[in-house]
Structure 1
Amino acid sequence: MSSRKVTIEAQDGGTFSGYLSAPPSGSGPGILVLQEIFGVSAHIRSVADRWAEEGYVALAPDLFWRLKPGVDLGFSPDDVKTARELGRRFDIDQGLRDIGDAIVALKAQPEFKGKVGAVGYCLGGRLAFLAAARLGVDAAVSYYGTRMDGHLGEVKSVRCPIMFHFGGKDAAVPPETRDKIRAAFSAHDNAEFFVYADAGHAFNNDRRSEAYDPFAAQLARSRSIGLFRRTLGPRYDLSALWDNHADQEFKYRDADATMATMTPDAYVNHIPTLTGGYGAMELHRFYKYHFIPRLPADTKLVPISRTVGSDRVVDELLFCFTHDCEIDFLAPGVAPTGKYVEVSTVAVVEFRGDKLYNEHIYWDQASMLAQLGVLDPEGLPIAGIESARKAKGEPIPSNAMMPTWKNSEGKS
C-alpha cells in the first residue's frame, strides 16, 4: 500500500488537493472517501488507507478548500467549534461539483481500474447520498449522514446500490429522521438500512473514544465491504485463501510461506491459552518455533461447517492428534501423554483484501485436558471426546449431565 497527495483541477478554475491511497496490488476500482466536518484529518486518511488495503484506489478530496485549504482538525473543544463553523459555511452544491472533479481526477490516476464508489461519514454521509443522486457513482455508502432529510426529493435520481448506517443513539440523526429517509427509499430495490442500537454519532471514528463503538464499526465495515465487492469488485475467494494459509501451516509446515499469506500487522489469538502473536516479528517467531514444529505428526483437521462473509471466514472443525510431543500453543507445559484427542474448535478469520489480518481461535480446553488425562472430569460438567463427536452430528445423548433432566419429564 502507498499513499500520496494529488492535485485536483476544479472546472471553474483553481486546484485543490486530495489524499490518495493505492492498494498493495497496485491497481483496483476507486472509492471516494468523503470527509467529516474535521477535514481530511488523520482519521479520514487512515480510513482511506483501510479501503486501499481492501483493494481500492481511495481518494479523500479536500472539500473545504474554498473556505480554508488543508483543514486537518482534531477533536478538542476548539477544533469542534471550528469544524462546526466550517460545516455551516460549506456550500453543498459547490461541494458536489468539486466531488465530480475529484471523480475525474481519480479516474486519471494510473492505479485506477474499473468502477467508482463513494463512502462518506457525517457530512460526508450526506455527500455520498448526493453523489449517488447527481454524479452517477456505481455504489454509495453513507455513515450517519446528517441533514439528509432536506434532500429526499433527489432519492428518485439514485440508480446505484446504496447503503446507510445509523447509530441507534445518534441525536444528530434521530429515529424520526431515519424513518423519513427509509420511507423515501421504499421503492429503491438496492437500498439497505442498518441501525446499530447501542451506537451514537461518529461510531466509526476510532480517534474519538467517547464516540467509537468497535462492534458497530466492524459490522458496518463488513457490510460496506460486501456492497462494494458486489458492485465494484475486486472479488476474492476467501475460502481458498484460508485453505492456502492452513496448508502452509499444517501441510507444508513453512513459517515463511505462512507469513506471506498475512498482512504485515496481522495477529493471531488462541483464546484458551493466550498464545499467538501480534505483528510480523512476533508471529514469525511463534509460527517457526512454537506452532509448526510442535504439531504432532498425525495432526488432522476435520471440517464441520464453514461460513464465508465479505471479509471473514468462520470455520467449525475438529482438531485431531496424538499427544506425542509437548504442544506449546494448545497445552503448554503438559508433557506428552501418548493419547489420541479430538477437540471441537472454531476459527474466526478476518481478511483485508486478499491477505489474512487476524485469527481468533477458540477450542474446548476442558474436553481436551480431560482426554489427555490431566483433568479429572468426575463431578464436573465436562465432556471428553463425546463433545467432538456430538459436534460432528453423531447421536450423542443430550442433557445427561443435568441432574434435574430425568425429573422434569412432563413438567412445564
Structure 2
Amino acid sequence: MGKMIKIRAGDSSGTFSGYLALPASGHGPGVVIGQEIFGINANMREVAELYAEEGYVALVPDLFWRLEPGVDLSYSEEDFAKAIELFKRLNVDKAVDDIEASFSALRGLEEVDDAGLGYVGFCMGGKLAYLTATRTQAAVSVGYYGMGIEEYLEEADNIKGRLVLHFAEEDDYCEAATRQQITQALTGRTKVELYTYRGVGHAFARFGDDTHYDKPSALMAHERSIAALKSEIGPHYNLSDLWEQHVYHEFDTRDVPATMATMVAEPYVNHIPTMTGGVGYKELSRFYQHHFVHGNPPDMKLVPISRTVGSSQIVDEFIMSFTHTTEIDWLLPNVEPTGKHVEIPMLGVVKFRGDKLYHEHIYWDQASVLVQIGLLDPTGLPVAGIETAHKLLDETQPSNTLMQRWQKSEEK
C-alpha cells in the first residue's frame, strides 16, 4: 500500500501532501496522477496502486491544498456539490505549478528511474493533462475526459512531449461540438493521440462507480495509456521471456508455486469455452494445483504458430496436441478419458502488469475437440475435427468443405 508524503511548492508558499505508491520492484519511472474533483479519495489511491502495479512510481498530489488541504470526497450529492465548488475556485495556473513541483519531488526520490516523467489525469486532472503537455517538460501526458481544454487551444504549439486524450462520446461536460473544436486544433500534430469512446459518458474509467464505469472502454483506454507511457519513459520488459517462463513452470516443471510467482498478487485465468480457471491468488492457485498443472496428459505439447507482442500484452497462436489418457478438468470437464489423439488450434491473450502476468484469456473451438473425441457427430453440422489444426499448418488444405453452396459459385 502507498503512503502520504510532503511536496514542496515551487513558489515557496509551503508544502502539500501527495499519495505515493511504489511498484513491487521498489523502483520505476515516475508518473504524476492528476486527481478528479473529489480530491485524493479512495478511487484516486486505487488508480495510483494500479499504476504502481504497472511498474511506475505513482504520485497523486493534493491539487486543492491552496483552497482546502486533504480533500477526500465521496460521490454523494452533498460531496459532489462541494467538489464542483472547489473546481470552480481552482487556480489552474497554480495547479500546473503544483504538478511541476510534484515532478520535482519525484526526481528527488531514489526509487524513481531517470527515464523522463509522465502524467495521467482524470476529469479535472484530464484538463490539466493538456496544460501539463503545453507548460512542462513532461515526456508524456495522458488525459481522461478533461473539461475546458478548448479554452486553452492557443497553447497547442507549445506541446512538447507525447499527448494522449481520451474522450467520452456522451460526455455532458465535453459535448460533440467541443470535441470537434479540440480535434481540429490538435489533429496532425506529432505525438498527439485523440480517442473517443462510443456510447459512454463522463468518468467511464472511474473504478467502483456503477453509474459511470464502463469496463470495455476503460480497459481499451488504459491499454493505450500504458502504451504511450512505455513508448516515452518505459519501463521496458521482455514480455516474451516472461511468458515463456510462466509456460515453462506450467507444462515442464509443473511447479505451481513457481507458476504463481510469475503473476501479480491477484491474477486471473479464463479458459473461454469452458469458463474454467480462477480469479485471485487463492482460487487460481487451487485451480492450478488440483485441476490443471498436474492433470494434463503426459504427452501434451504446444506448437507455436505466431506471436504478437504489444506494450503490455501478448497474443499467441498455437496448436495444442495430446492423447486423451487422463480426465482434463479445464478442457473436458466430467469427460472420462477416451484415448483419442487431439489437435486444437488455440489463441491466448496474455496481459501483463509491470513484469508480472495479470491474466490469460484462452480461446479454442470446443466443437472441434468434441468431434475428435467422438462426443459430437459432425454429420450435417458446420463443424470440423482435427482438420482445423492441419489447415492452420498447411493453408493449401481445401477450404469451404463445409459449404454446400461453394460449388454453385464456381461459374459465377
For 1:108, the aligned partner's letter is G
1:160 matched residue in structure 2: 161
Q: By how many angstroms is 1:371 displaced? A: 0.6
Q: By how many angstroms is 1:407 displaced? A: 3.2
Larger mean CA deviation between 261-270 and 198-207 belongs to: 198-207
Matched, 1:5 2:4: yes
2:68 matched residue in structure 1: 68
For 1:61, the aligned partner's letter is P
Q: Which runs of 5+ in 2 are unaligned?
A: none
1:5-404 mapped onto 2 (5 Å cutoff) = 5-10=4-9, 11-114=11-114, 115-186=116-187, 188-404=189-405
Q: By how many angstroms is 1:107 displaced? A: 1.6
For 2:154, the aligned partner's letter is G
SS of residue matched to 1:361: strand
Larger mean CA deviation between 259-268 and 202-211 belongs to: 202-211
Taking the aligned partners of 2:158 and 2:47, their CA distance within structure 1 comes to 28
SS of residue matched to 2:126: helix
SS of residue matched to 1:117: strand
Taking the aligned partners of 2:175 and 2:237, their CA distance within structure 1 comes to 37
Q: By how many angstroms is 1:71 displaced? A: 1.0
For 1:172, the aligned partner's letter is Y
Taking the aligned partners of 2:81 and 2:330, their CA distance within structure 1 comes to 51
Taking the aligned partners of 1:129 and 1:236, their CA distance within structure 2 comes to 28
Taking the aligned partners of 1:120 and 1:393, their CA distance within structure 2 comes to 49
Query: How well do the aligned residues superpose, as a CA RMSD in angstroms?
Result: 1.4
For 2:157, the aligned partner's letter is K
Taking the aligned partners of 1:156 and 1:290, their CA distance within structure 2 comes to 58
- Equivalent pairs counted in the alignment come to 410
SS of residue matched to 2:240: helix
Taking the aligned partners of 1:366 and 1:123, their CA distance within structure 2 comes to 50
For 2:46, the aligned partner's letter is S
Taking the aligned partners of 2:394 and 2:117, their CA distance within structure 1 comes to 46
Could you give the per-residue CA deviations for residues 236-291 of structure 1, whole angstroms, max 9, x where no partner exists? 11122111111111122111110110011001111222211111122112112211
For 2:263, the aligned partner's letter is M
- Over 6 Å off, 4+ runs: none
SS of residue matched to 1:149: helix
- TM-score by structure 1 length? 0.96
Taking the aligned partners of 1:159 and 1:183, their CA distance within structure 2 comes to 18
SS of residue matched to 2:2: strand
Q: By how many angstroms is 1:206 displaced? A: 2.3
SS of residue matched to 1:113: strand
SS of residue matched to 2:68: coil
For 1:390, the aligned partner's letter is K
Q: By how many angstroms is 1:233 displaced? A: 0.9
Taking the aligned partners of 1:186 and 1:221, their CA distance within structure 2 comes to 21
Q: Which runs of 5+ in 1 are unaligned?
A: none
For 1:333, the aligned partner's letter is N
For 1:222, the aligned partner's letter is E
SS of residue matched to 1:212: coil
Could you give the per-residue CA deviations for residues 315-354 of structure 1, whole angstroms, max 9, x where no partner exists? 1111101111111111122222221110111111111111
Instruction: Report percent identity of matched pairs.
Output: 49
